[in-house]
Chain A
Amino acid sequence: MIYREAGQFKTSYEADAAIFPIRQDRIGIAVILVLAYLVMPFVATPYIFTAILTPFLILSLAAIGLNILTGYCGQLSLGTAAFMAIGAFASYNFMLRVPGMPILVAFALSGGISALVGMVFGLPSLRIRGFYLAVTTLAAQFFIVWCLAKIGWFSNYSSSGVITAQEVTILGYEFVSPESRYLLVLVIVSLLALAAKNLVRSNTGRSWMAVRDMDVAAEVIGIRLMPAKLTAFAISSFYCGVAGALYAYLYLGTVEPEAYNLDLSFRILFMIIIGGVGSILGSFLGSAFITLLPVFLSLVVAFLETTVHLPLSKAITSNLELMAFGALIIFFLIVEPHGLARLWQIAKEKLRLWPFPY
């Protein structure tokens, strides 16, 4: 009864095509934005900023990137982390080699570099699909990270392989405190998420989905497969590149190839599977879920050890996370392949009718 659009009449196609056509959704998103922008900076502790909120937002951005490619355009990629690494290293080199480079411009340009590389690695998608494409993106993952580690120029011939990221300064303000870093990430992620939502509801997004769902039919109504797939690769890699730069500059504080290994790619893939394939909201839900799961599990372990006095060996506790991940992935693939976003959709449909069954 609460969630019902009765009485909300749309009198223009513009109103009908809005991102949130239903008033309750608009209120919901406004509450979330107020919480994120106005409440969180005052209530959260530095630990929450650095360990939960900032990585959650950055990984959401990477998940949006992967979702554009895999969820919307249907091209499975296992190379997400590699494109993030490109973003991080490109930012590092722009800041290092171009005097007076503003950091935000460096982030945007590094996204562009990542997009170019993404398009190159997207070329095989014109001939191969499915698992075979996944394998070529896997090759991208190993090749790119290997290149960044082996070719000295990228890391400015650093001996340790771990470089400290330059300081993030915008108009003289240094982003050092956890909450300032969080807010900067929040602004960038909200803007890019909005852009992604706009893209997927316009012609580009429909072309991607058409290619995903039925490529022959897409071609016959005039969508060219090559540009559609390559823009998906480019936009996806742009998002991943920016996310990678943010990850290095505002989360890790270091630029190193090892941070962008296959594990991270898989984590982001899990995010979109659990959150919802083909959903911008799902990218956030999945990212929140996977960022919070380890925190939740450690609380459970602590509870079991202190309150129940259940002796858990170190081996079990350290692998608990992996086991939970595995179980959840299998669960979601079988029960709800469209993830949390779909569950939310179903909940909304139920809420429209509640308290009546139909």
Chain B
Amino acid sequence: MTGPARGGGEVILQLERISLAFGGVKALTDISFDVREHEIRAIIGPNGAGKSSMLNVINGVYRPQEGTITFRGQVRRDMDSHEVAKNGIARTFQNIALFRGMSVLDNIMTGRNLKMKAGIFEQAIWFGRAKREELANRLKVEEVIDFLEIQHIRKTPVGRLPYGLQKRVELARALAAEPTLLLLDEPMAGMNVEEKQDMCRFILDVNEQYGTTIVLIEHDMGVVMDISDRVVVLDYGKKIGDGTPDEVRADKAVIAAYLGVAH
């Protein structure tokens, strides 16, 4: 179980009364919750509950019609993905969103694009700052590669990798940005038990070693209940439960909506 040190930190992400609609379709209605520093926060709910929309709101892909987001004390309403990334939020996607034409190494290096400041002319002559930055960032990327145990595939084009490894490379790309907050959209979807165990281990290690706060969406209840500190439950775009795994598991509304009612 989770120790008291984890998840006991200050609130770093506060979502207040978020509502998001696409035309007449209400994806999210009046949702508020918070994420504390260093915790693993899970978002669960049936298909179409608005989980991915929630992540898209947090990292600026969607702009909610109502509500405010406070990240590390900064209130924002309109912010594009670029600024969100600059503020230290990284994510992975439900359907693998790797750059298929590039090698594993290049994909992960792309995760560090915000750390590179050299101008285009310096890069064209591969000299001075451009070269220094490239090599310094490569060092960081290699650390991530070591951490996720993907040394053997660093030069492989990602398109050739099996699904489980692609998921891991995507996590590596997000980690390369050294995020404060990491959003994981179904990191274990479609994996077998062994791959899931590996992924769980990586998520816990990231949380522990780097102190990264993690928000994850996951369907595997065993995993969610095991690794998360607190769980938010969504259904039809509304929040129906929030608390520790044990509280959520005991919640009547959650059981009815998601885990199923015994007939």
Complex interface residues of chain B between 102 and 134 (CB less than 8 A to chain A)? 102, 106, 109-111, 113-114, 116, 118, 120, 123-126, 130-131, 133-134
Q: How far is the CB of A332 from chain B (nearest CB, A)?
A: 17
- Tell yes or no: A318 within 8 A of B by CB: no
Complex interface residues of chain A between 4 and 31 (CB less than 8 A to chain B)? 13-14, 16-17
Q: A13-B135, A204-B123, A216-B97 are in contact. Are A210 and B110 (CB under 8 A)?
A: yes
Complex interface residues of chain A between 162 and 210 (CB less than 8 A to chain B)? 195-196, 198-199, 202-204, 206-207, 209-210
Q: Are the C-beta atoms of A223 and B101 separated by less than 8 Å?
A: no
Q: A14-B135, A199-B123 are in contact. Are A222 and B82 (CB under 8 A)?
A: yes
How many residue pairs bridge A and B at CB < 8 Å? 106
Q: Are the C-beta atoms of B59 and A278 separated by less than 8 Å?
A: no
9 residue pairs from A and B, CB less than 8 Å apart = A203-B113, A207-B110, A209-B99, A210-B113, A213-B101, A217-B93, A219-B80, A219-B81, A222-B85
CB neighbours (8 Å) of B138 from chain A are 13, 16-17
Interface string of B27-51 (1 = CB under 8 A from A): 0000000000000000000000000
Which of B85, B109, B123 is close to A220, meaning CB atoms less than 8 Å apart?
A: B85
- Tell yes or no: A67 within 8 A of B by CB: no
The CA of A75 and the CA of B237, in the complex, are separated in Å by 37
Complex interface residues of chain B between 44 and 79 (CB less than 8 A to chain A)? 59, 61
Q: Are the C-beta atoms of B123 and A198 separated by less than 8 Å?
A: yes
Q: Are the C-beta atoms of A222 and B99 separated by less than 8 Å?
A: no
Interface string of B79-90 (1 = CB under 8 A from A): 011101110001
Q: Are the C-beta atoms of B111 and A204 separated by less than 8 Å?
A: no
- Tell yes or no: A221 within 8 A of B by CB: yes
Q: Are the C-beta atoms of B101 and A17 separated by less than 8 Å?
A: no
Q: A13-B139, A202-B123, A209-B106 are in contact. Are A220 and B61 (CB under 8 A)?
A: yes
Q: Chain A interface: which size bin?
A: 20 to 34
Pick the 10 closest A-B CB pairs, nearest first: A222-B85, A217-B97, A213-B99, A202-B123, A195-B124, A198-B126, A219-B81, A222-B114, A203-B116, A13-B138
CB neighbours (8 Å) of A14 from chain B are 131, 135
When C-beta atoms are compared, the residue in chain B nearest to A214 turns out to be B97
Instruction: Show the binding face of A for B, using Cβ within 8 Å.
Output: 13-14, 16-17, 195-196, 198-199, 202-204, 206-207, 209-210, 212-214, 216-224, 231, 235, 278
The CA of A209 and the CA of B97, in the complex, are separated in Å by 13
Q: Are the C-beta atoms of B118 and A203 separated by less than 8 Å?
A: yes
The CA of A221 and the CA of B109, in the complex, are separated in Å by 11
Which of A196, A209, A235 is close to B102, meaning CB atoms less than 8 Å apart?
A: A209
Q: Chain B interface: which size bin?
A: 35 or more
CB neighbours (8 Å) of A212 from chain B are 99, 101
Known: A17-B135, A195-B124, A217-B98. 10 other contacts (CB 8 A): A13-B135, A13-B138, A195-B125, A214-B99, A214-B100, A219-B80, A221-B90, A221-B174, A222-B113, A235-B120
When C-beta atoms are compared, the residue in chain A nearest to B130 turns out to be A202
- Tell yes or no: B177 within 8 A of A by CB: yes
Instruction: Show the binding face of B for A, using Cβ within 8 Å.
Output: 59, 61, 80-82, 84-86, 90-91, 93, 97-102, 106, 109-111, 113-114, 116, 118, 120, 123-126, 130-131, 133-135, 138-139, 142, 173-174, 177
Q: Are the C-beta atoms of B91 and A220 separated by less than 8 Å?
A: yes
CB neighbours (8 Å) of B142 from chain A are 13
CB neighbours (8 Å) of A198 from chain B are 123-126
Q: Are the C-beta atoms of A216 and B61 separated by less than 8 Å?
A: yes
Q: A206-B102, A213-B102 are in contact. Are A222 and B177 (CB under 8 A)?
A: yes
When C-beta atoms are compared, the residue in chain B nearest to A207 turns out to be B113
CB neighbours (8 Å) of B174 from chain A are 221
When C-beta atoms are compared, the residue in chain A nearest to B131 turns out to be A14
The CA of A213 and the CA of B96, in the complex, are separated in Å by 12
CB neighbours (8 Å) of A202 from chain B are 118, 123, 126, 130, 134
Q: Are the C-beta atoms of A221 and B135 separated by less than 8 Å?
A: no
The CA of A196 and the CA of B126, in the complex, are separated in Å by 10
The CA of A212 and the CA of B174, in the complex, are separated in Å by 19
CB neighbours (8 Å) of B139 from chain A are 13
Q: Are the C-beta atoms of A221 and B173 separated by less than 8 Å?
A: yes
Q: Are the C-beta atoms of B97 and A223 separated by less than 8 Å?
A: no
Which of A13, A203, A217, A224 is close to B123, meaning CB atoms less than 8 Å apart?
A: A203
Which of A206, A214, A223, A278 is close to B82, meaning CB atoms less than 8 Å apart?
A: A223
When C-beta atoms are compared, the residue in chain A nearest to B82 turns out to be A224
The CA of A345 and the CA of B173, in the complex, are separated in Å by 26
